[in-house]
Amino acid sequence: MTAVEIKKDIHWVGAVDWNVRDFHGYSTERGTTYNAYLIKDEKVALVDTVKHDFKSDLLHNIHQVMEPSKIDYIIVNHVELDHSGSLPEMIELIQPEKIFCTANGKRAMISHFHREDWPFEVVKTGDEISLGNRTVRFIETKMLHWPDSMFSYLLEDKILFSSDAFGQHLASSQRFDDQLPMDELITNAGKYFANILLVFSPLVQKLLAQVGEMDLGIEMIAPDHGPIWRGQPGKIIEAYDRWSGQETKNKALVVYDTMWKSTEKMAKSVCTGLEREGVEVRLMSARLCHRSDIMAEMLDAKAIIVGSATLNNNIMPRLADILTYVKGLRPKGRIGASFGSYGWSGEAVKQLNGFLDEMGIEVVGDGVRIKNVPEHEGYQKCVELGAAVGRAVRGSEQLTAEEA
């Protein structure tokens, strides 16, 4: 890759990771980028670095713009190692005058790299530094998604360096949103939000309100992953407002795992009931669909119906994995139900209802249990379960519309 000037004397100097396929449990089949930015002024600032294995890419791109030793400041928006893994070696090479970070950022860097002698300069929301003709204003974004996180806003150029917010895992030779299909970008950004930031939705809502009150007039959003938003930055801000508000639509997920296809047959009948009530349906096998893709589909789904055969008096392990993952991301305001086949004791449905209840999901009915292989009567019970959830989904959508 090559350095790219995103505005006059401001360059993308990051790295593209075409081959990463897993990001701590999140499937990244499209790869990702580790974005870093170089601001040239009377004082030169490097905004974030890259994952350790990509240090040579970062250095190569910086060399295309200037000698790394001429960098004065390093701004660390986020200490997670995909953005700071190369930081110790870059500090050794650059010998910066100051390293700007939050108080939590300083603690995190010391904890990760054990260097208390670095030239830390702690900043908080509202603090500004002058680079000469340009001013950087800092905005703390604590727990979005680490305690150390912050934004850096370049006032004169109206660029928001947004760390992990507004990003996505997408490797590309294009650096900007207007070079790629918008629906693809929003889909990838939605998956990123669902799997990383959904749990922090209330904080995202507060941050969006805070940034709105600042009236920054943002013309470009430069995140640490994925393309830079220069064509329509308002699109991703609107999407974050919608996602963090946990807005859903007339849609249901049916997620299941099966042993000898009986639970799969039940799942299809549940879908039939949902379809009859005019609800959009996504049928997803726990064996064939990655947990992060299921979570992405759940971002705008009002209902999740889960099905499992009983294995050793328990839920099937792949489905248990998915439900544990979903529970940690705390989706709110959803409706759910359960179903499953069994050979002897049939505990799975009761356990599934327990999972849904613990997640705060409104459970419709007691679930459907069928011994061994379903017949017509069993299929009809599954259709009725799907229809009951479908009516609940439509009812909640009607209430939402009336409230609006």
The residues annotated as belonging to the active site are 24, 78, 80, 82, 145, 164, 192, 225
| First CA to last CA distance, the chain | 48
Q: What is the three-state SS of the chain?
A: CCCEEEECCEEECCEEECCCCEECCEECCCCEEECCEEECCCCCEEECCCCHHHHHHHHHHHHHHCCHHHCCEEECCCCCHHHHCCHHHHHHHHCCCEEEECHHHHHHHHHHHCCCCCCEEECCCCCEEECCCCEEEEEECCCCCCCCCEEEEECCCCEEECCCCCCCCCCCCCCEHHHCCHHHHHHHHHHHHHHHHHHHHHHHHHHHHHHHHHCCCCCEEECCCCCEECCCHHHHHHHHHHHHCCCCEEEEEEEEECCCCHHHHHHHHHHHHHHHCCCEEEEEECCCCCHHHHHHHHCCEEEEEEEECEECCEECHHHHHHHHHHHHHCCCCCEEEEEEEECCCCCHHHHHHHHHHHCCCEECCCCEEEECCCCHHHHHHHHHHHHHHHHHHHHHHHHHHHHC
- Rounded Cα distance between 116 and 159, Å, is 31
User: Omega of the bond prior to 145 within 30 degrees of 0, cis?
Assistant: yes
How many CB atoms are located within 10 Å of the residue 12 CB? Answer: 20
Strand partners, 17: 32
